[in-house]
């Protein structure tokens, strides 16, 4: 209505102008004609673009059916790497051999830089060049201690690492956990060339050497530092004590407890907040800073002499002697009291007083109040100093001193003193970080800072760039260049918090020859007011910081030049991606803006002028918690380019608005041809709107819970929706009916995307699972389980070969479609199996049984292996041998894996009686060749042998029964006698044979029954048998065919008579 009113007023004003002046109407008519011509040209370009896209899609489809995606693998990932604490930079390429500290043993190109960062009670090893986490240290310590995870997350993790230190030769890592266990690790060499893959495990870089036991501190250790000689290690605890360890023996040599202030100063807070060794191998001097602002300087060679400094009124966080302290004789300290103190070191002998020569009291050692150290300058920096480093001199002027400070204001500053030989030298501001590059005080400022330059013990490594590495309050690690103006060269995001939304930024250059390319950048909305642009090659990020509250949604234009963001501050902002400048802002919603979408046609972004303002160009659509839908017309890409170059922010106006749903709107999506707009809400419905005037086209109802996402197909007139009812529905845009329903998620489905030319769907859910469905078969092709919590974000590249997901577990995963690779591997394996099958057939045909057996064992074909074993045994027996000799020769050559596989085959073969002879013969050859202790040490061999023995006993019982049955035939033949021979001799021969014959298993009498091989031969009970023996009866004798000779003769006669009657 507002748009109609505005158009009516403009038309009335133009008509009044026409009556007043004759020249004006002509000009207005010309402008209208020009606008109409521009619109026609734009519509023609858009139609031509649509035809080109449709033609491309048809060509791709005509070229052959696309391969359905069935397998995905993680290509690269960004996981939480830093949650606050000490950061350390090191080289783990093994440039220094053990025992050498003055020369390089490999080429400089072979070194590799790493960062050691604390993360959640663990230590992460992060590639300093690519920002990829290569592994962690915690797992080794947990395994060594035999700890188990507790189900109660609130319970304190006693194995969490609270402090660590790296030796100066980058070869030894010391850690201390919350239970005060001190452990020593060895930093290994990386492969030659310094190339480390992202999937390399941490065990190949850091290995546990030994555990030193308890630290001896009463409370957790928070600080550890090595002496320059790598022989001594200092530890500081919350209990206020500092201990000095001899690394060679692993014992404590000195214990330094806090001293009472002579001036009565201090607040009683005695926690150790800073440790620092004097940078000299010969001087064993350590400074201990505490929470009450005191500093105690101890000399290990003269442990009775202690220097106490009490000039700070708050916790001391940084203390350093310059590397050239022998020339400048200075000591620099800083703390949270917002000052930096400069101390001059003088000869202790000149400062001794008579009071210091008294004997020590019971509760305190001999100490100087400020013995040898005089404060000569105090620099107010007006911020809580959290990090301070003394930079090495850049010229031959050793009297120069330069320091860098970082703190609560989130801005790094360099301070310099040209001549430190003056009586009162002063530090003056030399350089500071640009305001646009600084982190800022509102976001928490900086928390840590270290200096990265040439290696600590390698002065000839001049090619290493000097940098300052700072960690901010949001756990981001920034690299600042020392050359220019302390500008940020790159940023490693340590912790993202919840990933609420992400989008892949399309590349401006389109390569039609390659179907699959890894996207270069992604835009990520975390649970903060900043939007991060990640470089997927290095995971370095740039921050877009203009929102005042949490950003909820991001969207990228199809050209990849513009980015739209919205959040809880009720604003929609448009960004120029290349310059990272905000070029436009839209304000108009009454509540938080939950979703925003940009038009999808490339040609619309080239429309300029009035045609763009009147709706002929690109546009954005936003949906808010106030349940309204708004359309914002964009002025065009050229206007945005000019705004980015001038650092201006344009104001966008909404000409069309509509009340869309009865509950919160979760998502808004625009069709590929910009004709429709779809919205999904918590009221369980999806609504289709005309994009030009936001009039309602249709309402799609069918979900039982709120709708979290909806997307248009890029090729077909269908819409996919994801809901909290754990289902995905596919809707037809022709009749607005539901045509498919996909199930499988165990919780709410949060995101859905089309892939493979609209033939498949990819989804992510609150269960942390990612699923890929095939629309035609309505089946789930694969399930990807990589997130530990809700997978809020999901996006696909334009070619559909790369997928990026993010979730509440702060992880960003980049997935690669590996379907073709796995199919190629399967095809290669199948071809290899066919070749081996043909070789096997050839060997069997030529009776080359040994070669055939090796192929069958390699292909894991038990049936063919049985044939080969049978053939080998038969051929050996035919040659006059026992058949077991060749099997023993084979058993001697087999590996442990091969022996285990053969025994598994024998266990299966032994279950059938017709194969048991071959199986037991093979088992005999193995157990008689391989020692028993070796077989018992093999995995699963004892279980396999137990299975073989159970069936072997059954087979032996069967043989016993068969042997028993053979006696019956012998008895019958012996009783019948032999025609034409002497019966006495025959009986004697039979008696001899019977006496020499033995059963396989001896008869056993069990419960009065005679058993042979586990079966009863004589079924007469003992009492019955005894009665028969008492009567002298022969009824227990089993007679087959006749009972006596007379009965036999009578039976023979009767049978012959019957035969004669039959013949007659």
CA atoms in the 13 A half-sphere facing the CB of 10: 8
- Exposed, middle or buried by CB within 10 Å (0-12, 13-18, 19+), for 324? middle
Tokens at residue 278, please?
Answer: 């004097």
Nearest-Å Rg of the Cα atoms of the chain is: 44
Contact (CB, 8 A) for 999 and 963? yes
What phi and psi values does residue 397 have, to the nearest 5 degrees? Answer: -80, 95
Cα 215 from Cα 208, distance rounded (Å): 17
Q: Residues of the chain whose pLDDT is less than 70?
A: 1-66, 92-111, 138-156, 189-204, 260-269, 303, 325, 347-371, 395-397, 454-464, 508-519, 977-991, 993-1064
| Angle 660-662-668 from CA coordinates, rounded to 5° | 40
The residue whose two tokens read 């053979």 is 966
- Cβ atoms of residues 477 and 494 within 8 Å: yes
Query: ∠ CA(601), CA(606), CA(610), 5° rounding?
Result: 110
Which pLDDT score, from 0 to 100, does residue 657 have? 92
Q: How many CA atoms lie within 13 A of 932 on its CB side?
A: 0
Report d(CA 74, CA 198) in Å as an integer: 11
Q: How far is CA 700 from CA 307, 594, 727, 729, 872, in A?
A: 79, 21, 15, 10, 73
DSSP helix/strand/coil, 461: coil
| Confidence (pLDDT) at 964 | 84
For 540, phi then psi, to 5°, come to -75, 150
Sequence-ordered list of residues with C-beta below 8 angstroms from that of 921, at least 6 positions apart, any chain: 873, 883, 884, 887
Bridge pairing between strands 581-587 and 571-576: antiparallel
> Would you say 318 and 334 are in contact if contact means Cβ atoms under 8 Å apart?
yes
Report the 10 Å Cβ neighbour count for 187.
22
Cα–Cα distance for residue pair 646/240, rounded to 1 Å: 56
Q: What is the three-state SS of 466-525?
A: CEEEEEECCCEEEEEECCCCCCEEEEEECCCCCEEEEEEECCCCCCCCCCCCCCCEEEEE
3-class DSSP assignment, residue 317: strand
The per-residue b/e assignment along 609-626, b for 16 or more CB within 10 angstroms, e otherwise, is: bbbbbebbbbbbbbbbbb
Which helix or strand (DSSP H or E) is residue 973 part of? helix 941-976
Start-to-end Cα distance in the chain: 128
Interatomic CA distance for residues 445 and 790, integer angstroms: 30
Residue 25 to residue 36: CA distance in whole angstroms: 16
User: Could you give the 3-state DSSP secondary structure of residue 833?
Assistant: helix
The set of residues, in sequence order, having a beta carbon less than 8 Å from that of 330 and lying 6+ positions away, is 321, 322, 342, 343, 344, 345, 401, 420
Q: Measured between alpha carbons, how far is 274 from 381 in angstroms, rounded to an integer?
A: 19
Residue 855 has a pLDDT of 86
Q: What share of the chain is helix, strand, coil (3-state, %, to 5)?
A: 25, 35, 40
Spatial CB neighbours of 95, under 8 Å, sequence gap ≥ 6: 104, 105, 106, 110, 111, 170, 455, 458
How many Cα atoms sit within 13 Å of 89 on the Cβ side? Answer: 24
CA distance linking residue 760 with residue 754, whole number of Å: 6
**771, 745 Cβ separation under 8 angstroms:** yes
8 Å CB contact between 238 and 219: yes
Measured CA to CA, the distance from residue 9 to residue 3 in angstroms comes to: 10
Q: Quote the tokens at residue 512.
A: 């039609």
Question: Looking up tokens 């500081």, which residue turns up?
Answer: 236
Distance CA(786)–CA(693), nearest Å, equals: 42
pLDDT value at residue 520 = 82
Report the C-alpha gap between 212 and 182 in whole angstroms: 5
Query: How far apart are the C-alpha atoms of 236 and 449, rounded to whole Å?
Result: 20
Q: Is 230 left (phi over 0), alpha (psi -120 to 50) or beta?
A: left
């Amino acid at each position: 209505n507002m748009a109609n009113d505005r158009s009516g007023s403009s038309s009335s004003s133009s008509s009044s102008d026409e009556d007043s002046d004759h020249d004006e109407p002509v000009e207005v008519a010309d402008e209208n004609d020009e606008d109409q011509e521009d619109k026609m040209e734009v519509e023609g370009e858009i139609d031509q673009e649509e035809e080109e896209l449709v033609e491309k899609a048809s060509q791709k489809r005509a070229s052959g059916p696309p391969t359905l995606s069935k397998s995905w693998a993680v290509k690269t990932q960004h996981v939480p790497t830093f949650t606050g604490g000490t950061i350390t930079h090191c080289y783990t390429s093994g440039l220094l051999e053990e025992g050498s500290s003055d020369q390089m043993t490999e080429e400089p190109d072979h070194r590799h830089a790493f960062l050691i960062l604390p993360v959640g009670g663990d230590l992460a090893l992060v590639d300093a060049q690519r920002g990829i986490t290569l592994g962690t240290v915690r797992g080794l310590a947990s395994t060594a201690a035999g700890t188990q995870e507790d189900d109660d997350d609130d319970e304190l993790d006693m194995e969490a690492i609270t402090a660590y230190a790296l030796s100066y030769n980058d070869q030894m890592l010391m850690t201390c956990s919350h239970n005060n266990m001190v452990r020593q690790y060895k930093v290994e060499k990386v492969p030659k060339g310094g190339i480390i893959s992202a999937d390399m495990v941490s065990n190949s870089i850091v290995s546990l050497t030994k555990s030193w036991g308890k630290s001896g501190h009463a409370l957790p250790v928070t600080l550890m530092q090595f002496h320059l000689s790598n022989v001594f290690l200092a530890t500081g605890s919350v209990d206020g004590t500092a201990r000095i360890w001899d690394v060679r023996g692993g014992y404590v040599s000195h214990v330094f407890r806090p001293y009472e202030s002579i001036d009565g100063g201090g607040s009683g807070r005695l926690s150790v907040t800073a440790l620092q060794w004097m940078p000299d191998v010969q001087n064993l001097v350590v400074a201990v800073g505490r929470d009450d602002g005191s500093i105690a300087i101890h000399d290990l060679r003269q442990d009775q002499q202690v220097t106490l400094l009490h000039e700070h009124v708050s916790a001391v966080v940084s203390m350093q002697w310059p590397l050239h302290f022998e020339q400048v004789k200075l000591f620099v300290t800083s703390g949270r009291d917002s000052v930096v103190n400069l101390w001059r070191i003088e000869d202790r002998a000149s400062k001794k007083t008579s009071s210091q020569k008294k004997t020590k009291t019971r509760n305190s050692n001999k100490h100087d109040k400020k013995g040898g150290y005089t404060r000569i300058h105090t620099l107010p920096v007006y911020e809580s100093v959290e990090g301070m480093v003394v930079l090495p001199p850049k010229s031959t002027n050793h009297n120069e001193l330069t320091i860098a400070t970082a703190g609560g204001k989130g801005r790094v500053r360099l301070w310099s003193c040209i001549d430190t030989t003056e009586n009162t030298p002063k530090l003056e501001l030399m350089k500071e970080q640009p305001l646009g590059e600084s982190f800022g005080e509102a976001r928490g400022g900086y928390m840590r800072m270290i200096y990265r330059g040439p290696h600590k013990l390698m002065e000839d490594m001049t090619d290493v760039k000097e940098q300052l590495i700072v960690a901010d309050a949001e756990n981001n690690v920034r690299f600042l260049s020392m050359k220019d103006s302390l500008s940020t060269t790159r940023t490693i995001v340590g912790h993202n918090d919840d990933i609420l939304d992400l989008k892949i930024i399309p590349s401006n250059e389109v390569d039609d020859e390659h179907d699959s390319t890894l996207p270069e950048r992604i835009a990520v909305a975390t649970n903060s007011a900043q939007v991060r642009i990640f470089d997927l090659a290095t995971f370095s990020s740039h921050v877009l910081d203009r929102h005042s509250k949490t950003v909820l949604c991001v969207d990228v234009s199809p050209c990849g030049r513009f980015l739209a963001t919205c959040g809880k501050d009720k604003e929609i902002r448009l960004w120029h991606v290349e310059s990272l400048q905000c070029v436009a802002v839209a304000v108009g919603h009454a509540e938080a803006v939950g979703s925003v979408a940009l038009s999808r046609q490339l040609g619309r972004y080239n429309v300029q002028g009035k045609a763009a303002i009147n709706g002929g160009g690109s546009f954005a659509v936003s949906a808010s918690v106030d349940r309204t839908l708004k359309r914002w017309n964009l002025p065009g890409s050229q206007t945005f380019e000019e705004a980015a170059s001038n650092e201006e922010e344009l104001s966008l106006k909404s000409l069309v608005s509509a009340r869309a749903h009865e509950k919160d709107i979760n998502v808004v999506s625009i069709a590929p041809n910009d004709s429709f707009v779809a919205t999904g809400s918590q009221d369980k419905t999806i609504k289709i709107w005309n994009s030009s005037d936001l009039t309602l086209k249709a309402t799609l109802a069918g979900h039982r819970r709120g709708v979290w996402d909806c997307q248009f197909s890029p090729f077909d007139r269908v819409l996919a929706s994801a809901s909290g009812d754990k289902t995905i529905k596919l809707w037809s845009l022709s009749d607005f009916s539901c045509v498919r329903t996909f199930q499988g998620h165990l919780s709410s489905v949060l995101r859905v995307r089309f892939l493979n030319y609209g033939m498949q769907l990819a989804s992510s859910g609150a269960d942390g699972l990612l699923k890929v469905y095939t629309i035609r078969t309505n089946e789930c092709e694969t399930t990807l389980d990589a997130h530990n919590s809700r997978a809020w974000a999901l996006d696909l590249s334009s070619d559909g070969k790369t997928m990026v997901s993010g979730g509440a577990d702060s992880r960003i995963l980049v997935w690669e479609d590996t379907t073709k690779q796995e199919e190629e591997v399967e095809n290669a394996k199948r071809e290899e199996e066919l070749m081996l099958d043909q070789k096997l057939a050839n060997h069997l045909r030529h009776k080359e049984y040994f070669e055939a057996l090796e192929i069958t064992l390699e292909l894991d074909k038990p049936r063919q292996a049985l044939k080969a074993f049978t053939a080998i045994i038969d051929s050996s027996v035919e040659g006059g041998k026992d058949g077991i000799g060749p099997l023993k020769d084979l058993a001697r050559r087999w590996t442990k894996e091969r022996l285990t596989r053969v025994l598994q085959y024998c266990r299966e073969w032994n279950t059938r009686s017709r194969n048991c002879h071959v199986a037991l013969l093979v088992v005999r050859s193995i157990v008689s060749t391989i020692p028993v202790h070796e077989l018992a040490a093999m995995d699963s061999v004892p279980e396999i042998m137990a299975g073989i023995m159970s069936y072997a006993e059954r087979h032996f019982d069967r043989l016993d029964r068969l042997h028993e049955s053979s006696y019956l035939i012998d008895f019958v033949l012996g009783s019948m006698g032999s025609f034409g021979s002497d019966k006495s001799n025959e009986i004697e021969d039979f008696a001899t044979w019977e006496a020499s014959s033995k059963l396989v298993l001896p008869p056993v009498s069990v419960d009065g029954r005679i058993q042979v091989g586990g079966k009863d031969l004589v079924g007469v009970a003992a009492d019955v048998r005894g009665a028969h023996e008492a009567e002298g009866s022969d009824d227990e004798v089993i007679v087959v065919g006749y009972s006596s000779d007379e009965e036999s003769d009578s039976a023979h006669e009767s049978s012959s008579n019957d035969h004669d009657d039959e013949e007659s």
